[in-house]
Amino acid sequence: MINKLSSLLKAANISLTDQQKQQLVGYVELLHKWNKAYNLTSVRDPQQMLVRHILDSVVVEPHLQGERFIDVGTGPGLPGIPLAIVRPQSHFTLLDSLGKRVRFLRQVQHELGLTNVTPVQSRVEEYPSEPPFDGVISRAFASLEDMLTWCHHLPGPEGRFYALKGVRPHDEIAALPAGFTVEKIQPLQVPELDGERHLVVITRQ
């Protein structure tokens, strides 16, 4: 699996250390193992997980600004765990409301030796933001309007919202709540992935 990951990373023009590659593969192996009992993802094939979970997450890393991030509705740790592996200088709070997912995340944290993640079981609207985050990240979590409504208290004044989307979400952008503006819509290239991917970056006005 490490060879497959290496070829995907090369196609995406991403350079990682051997240790980072081992951690990413270790994460996929844990996800595959726990998925049988916990039903964490609909993707069953580890090779497909490399494309649809790992690469789909790490291509976002160059566009993040700051050091403290929160991944809301992280599920089994996506994109937070892959991002934490490829961005060791930053810290990622992994927020999910389901206990079984948070138990899985704690196991991943322990087995991979990740010191820059904090798994938290909480509803996002009830989670305090002290100190505020540099970035709020979501992937397949909610509409942009819902994300901003539920997470508006999490970033600092200069903080950003990063929403991982498929096709360019014109309708959602048109329905943005007052006080927020789209900073950029970044097309993402994910090797071997069918369909479009975009990163929508939103700031306060």
Q: Is 159 annotated as a binding residue?
A: no
Q: Is 125 annotated as a binding residue?
A: yes
d(CA 33, CA 108) in angstroms, rounded, equals 11
Tell me which amino acid residue 117 is: V
d(CA 189, CA 103) in angstroms, rounded, equals 32
DSSP 138-182: EESS--HHHHHHHHTTSEEEEEEEEEEESS--HHHHHTPPTTEEE
Q: Is 106 annotated as a binding residue?
A: no
Burial 106-144 (b: 16+ CB within 10 A, else e): eebbeebebebbbbbbeebeebebeeebbbbbbbebbeb
Tokens of 9: 């990373």
CA distances from 137 to 5, 15, 73, 150 (A): 24, 22, 9, 12
- Enumerate the known binding-site residues for S-adenosyl-L-methionine: 73, 78, 124-125, 139
Residues making up the binding site? 73, 78, 124-125, 139
